[in-house]
Structure 1
Amino acid sequence: TEDFDIAGGQLQVKFDRIAPNANVSHTVVVKPKKYGYFNFTAAEVSYQPSEDSAEIQIGYTSEPGEGGIIAFRDYDRKFSPHVFDWLIFALLMIPALLVPYMMW
C-alpha cells in the first residue's frame, strides 16, 4: 500500500461459507501514487476444505507479472479526442478544397 491508495474494497475478506459449484468474486480498486513499472504478485487464498476440518489449505491466484502504469497526462495525450487538432486541420483543409471547387 505504499505505492497505491485503496479507492474501493478491502484487502482482506472472509466468506463464512461457499456453496458447492458456486463462485465468489472479490474486487479491490486501487489508485497508483506514482507511475512506472510494478511487479504484481499473486493473491493468497486460505480456506478449510470442510467445516469440521482443522487443516487450512493455502492457494494462490494467477500472477499477472510486471505491469506498467503511465502518468495521467501521458494517457490523456495519447487517448484524448484531440478536438482542437481536428478543428485546425479542418480550417486548413477548407481553402485546399474550396479553391479547386470554385474553379470548376
Structure 2
Amino acid sequence: CIAVGYAEKQPQPHLLIQKSVLVSRPFAGKDIPFQYRLFNIGSGPAYDVTLEDDWSAEEYSVVSGMVSGSWPQIPAGGNVTHIVVLKAHSFGYKSSTPAKVTYKATQDAADVQVGYSNDLGLIPVLSHKEDNKLSAPHITEWLLFIAMAAGLGFLPLFLFRPQVSADAGKKKVKSN
C-alpha cells in the first residue's frame, strides 16, 4: 500500500523588475529620469519589499527621488513604480548596474528572496554641444531650404515661358 500525501501549496510571490531611462537622448548637465517597475506575477503577496540601486557618485548626482525604495506589501497581480531623477556630470558612455530587490513570501518568513532588474548597459550621455545642435530651431537652414526650393520651383517657368516676338505687339494695316 502506497500513501501519497498532498501538502497545501502556499501562494508564492514572484517579482519582475524593469529598469528604464525615460528620455530618448540623455544629456550631460540635464535631468535624466530613471524608472523602476516592480510586477508581482506570483500567486501571493510580497512582503517587506526593498529596492536598491547603485549609481556612481563620480558620474551622477541625485536631483530628486531616492535610489532606493521600500514597500510593506505588493499584492499578487499588483505593481509599483519608482522614479529617481539623476544628473550626469559629464558626457560619454556611463555605466549602469542592475537594481537589487529583496522581499519575503510571508510577513514572518526568515528567508529573503532576491531579484535583479535588467541591466541598461552603457548609457550614451550626449554633450551640451550636441544638445544645442539637436534642439536648435535651424532658422538659417530653413531659410536656405525655402530659397532653394523656390528657385527650383520657378526655374521651369523661366525656361518654358512662351516666346513673344517684337512683331506680335503691332497691328498690321491692310492696304487696298
Give the TM interval when normalised to the shorter protein.
0.7 to 0.9
Structure 2 residue aligned with 1:11: 67
What SS is found at the alignment partner of 1:13? strand
Provide the C-alpha distance between the structure 1 equivalents of 2:62 and 2:70, rounded to a whole number of angstroms.
18
Which structure has the highest helix share of the two?
1
Measure, in 2, the Cα distance between the counterparts of 1:62 and 1:89. Answer: 44
- Pick closer, same or farther for the CA change 1:100–1:15 going to 2, 3 Å: same
Determine helix, strand or coil for the equivalent of 1:28. Answer: strand
Pairing partner for 1:82 from 119, 138, 153: 138
Q: Partner letter of residue 91 of structure 2?
A: Y
**Matched AA of 2:98:** A
What secondary structure is seen at the aligned counterpart in 2 of 1:25? strand
| Aligned pairs for 1:1-104 within 5 A | 1-78=57-134, 80-98=136-154, 100-101=156-157, 104=161
Q: In 1, are the aligned partners of 2:98 and 2:117 still within 8 Å (CA)?
A: yes
Q: How many residues align?
A: 104
Over the matched positions of the two proteins, sequence identity in percent amounts to: 26
The structure that has the greater radius of gyration is: 2
RMSD: 2.1
**Structure with more strand by fraction:** 2
Under a length normalisation based on structure 2, what TM-score does the superposition of the two structures give?
0.51
The CA deviation at 1:82 is 1.7
Structure 2, unmatched stretches of 5+, are 1-56, 162-176
- C-alpha separation in 1, matches of 2:128 and 2:77: 41
User: 1:16-67 deviations in whole A, cap 9, x for unaligned?
Assistant: 1111211111111212110111221100111122101122222111111112
Q: 2: CA distance between counterparts of 1:80 and 1:98?
A: 30
Aligned counterparts of 1:55 and 1:70: Cα–Cα separation in 2: 43
